[in-house]
Structure 1
Amino acid sequence: MKISGSSKFIAEIIGTMVLVLMGCGSAVIAGADGTTGVGLLGISFAFGLSVVAMAYAIGHISGCHINPAISIAMVIAGRMKASEAASYIAAQIIGALLGAGLLYLIASGKAEYAGGLGQNGYGDFSPQKYNLTSGFVAEVIFTFIFLLVILGSTSSKNINGGFAGLSIGLSLVLIHIVGIPITGVSVNPARSIGPAVFVGGGALEQVWLFIAAPVAGAILAALVWNTLIEKREKS
């Protein structure tokens, strides 16, 4: 059965909305303080579980990219047309804005709400004050690792492809466990754009890093995968 472009577009909007609402929501609503909330591990699992849930919900419709870096990597890897990737990216940004908007609507209903939406940052806006260089390197490398897992898990040569959603989600958990103190973890331009637009200020000024670094990491992963790991045989 052929799946329409509109179905894929809607699926990517919904999937990205869920990722931002539940992932960022775990930090904003459930709390980063391990004594009264879910803590760093809980936030890490919220992002990973969001991906797992959406992979099995919409994976058969759109592939569940819900991340512009993934769509770009798929183009570089030869698994997707650039025109389709552009549609996916537009849907992902819309979904992220919807997720961030819903999170703001919910979170702002509490009198003590401080105004954050789980936005990413470096320097003074980093959870533990890591500088721009640390933030950029971390985002490139973490995205590189994330995309290698995705490319491998979804490869036609992988006999365990049915578990792709689980492996991808767990890899995102791992990345968040290490990366939250550095930047809050993006590895996904849409996930960063949504909250930054609503928070504004420093979050919006710094969002360029969380677009550039994940895209660079994704491109690097696709090139390494195609040229060094799963080499295409010459005809």
Structure 2
Amino acid sequence: MGKDVEVAEQGEFQSKDYQDPPPAPLIDPEELTKWSLYRAAIAEFIATLLFLYVTVLTVIGYSHQRDSTPDPCSGVGILGIAWAFGGMIFILVYCTAGISGGHINPAVTFGLFLARKVSLVRAVLYMLAQCAGAICGCGLVKAFQSAYYVRYNGGANMLSDGYNKGTGLGAEIIGTFVLVYTVFSATDPKRNARDSHVPVLAPLPIGFAVFMVHLATIPITGTGINPARSFGAAVIFNKEKAWDDQWIFWVGPFIGAAIAAIYHQYVLRAGAIKALGSFRSNA
């Protein structure tokens, strides 16, 4: 009886052994014929729309409350804004992870593409859907808060006074690195197989990463770390001030995402060592 239990336990352990899934194809024309691709793009569009609507509305609402009362503790404050961004990411990733992977951010999509988790076709379609959703979400904010929208710069990301462009770029690179690194770690199937006894709810650490980065970088850039968020707000606000430093909110997140993908795949997951070992064995 004891041996049977031991064998069953060994079999259960062996069933959890992990093998890396094959990399996504760079270009897969057949993917364009599948409804699942377009369903995922629609999910990314709606999720990004809701994300921008709630978060930018929170930013504008807090700015109005701050100016309309002398109490420095009125309104949600920077802490509340950070919670709005982190909480919405937690909710939306939880809702869309099973459909599109819950990217809601071109930088996340770019990092996963570099790691060959998604194809080029899917990555491009996701980014277009995310940017379109961000524009529509900010359009709704302007419609509902037309009285305060222009006064508070449409909730657009801008480099704060007293900070140079290098500081802003560095803040966006590091902030996006933290986010994308968390995405890779929280969704790593090898970790789930190895630590299956530890329940991991991926949206939770991802949402907390967004929350913590906002606390650190709101005073510097207003916190981008999501090119769609910065682009959508700039398009609807459409003032020169919003476009002056727009490149920071694209270059910074893409660099941060690339570093996170390389670090996770080739350092932590030892992708470079595995490739070298395979090359030597073949030789």
The within-5 A match list for 1:155-194 is 155-159=188-192, 162-194=200-232
Alignment correspondent of 2:259:
220
Alignment correspondent of 2:89:
51
Moved more, 138-147 or 28-37: 28-37
Alignment correspondent of 2:195:
none
Cα offsets for 1:43-95 (capped at 9, x unmatched)? 00000011011011111100110100011100111211111100000000000
How far has the Cα of 1:115 moved from its partner?
Answer: 4.5
Alignment correspondent of 1:118:
155
| Contact 1:120–1:203 (8 Å) recurs in 2 | yes
Residue 14 (structure 1) aligned with residue 46 (structure 2): yes
Alignment correspondent of 1:141:
174
SS in 2 for 1:195: helix
Supply the AA of the counterpart residue of 2:54: M
d(CA) in 2 for partners of 1:36, 1:43? 13
Cα offsets for 1:16-64 (capped at 9, x unmatched)? 1111111121111244745221000000000001101101111110011
Alignment correspondent of 2:111:
73
Cα offsets for 1:124-152 (capped at 9, x unmatched)? xx1x5321111000101111111111100
d(CA) in 2 for partners of 1:158, 1:202? 44
Out of 246, 255, 269, the position equivalent to 1:207 is: 246
Alignment correspondent of 2:101:
63
Q: CA RMSD in A?
A: 1.8
- Distance change (3 Å), C-alpha of 1:112 and 1:132: closer
Structure of higher CA gyration radius: 2
Supply the AA of the counterpart residue of 1:116: N
How many residues in Structure 1 have an aligned counterpart in Structure 2? 229
Alignment correspondent of 1:105:
143
d(CA) in 2 for partners of 1:13, 1:161? 29
- Distance change (3 Å), C-alpha of 1:101 and 1:181: same
How far has the Cα of 1:116 moved from its partner?
Answer: 1.9
How far has the Cα of 1:113 moved from its partner?
Answer: 5.9
SS in 1 for 2:151: coil
The runs of at least 4 consecutive aligned structure 1 residues that moved more than 6 Å come to: none
- Distance change (3 Å), C-alpha of 1:228 and 1:17: same
Alignment correspondent of 2:9:
none
Unaligned runs of 5+ residues in structure 2 are: 1-33, 67-71, 193-197, 279-283
Supply the AA of the counterpart residue of 1:20: L
d(CA) in 1 for partners of 2:187, 2:100? 13
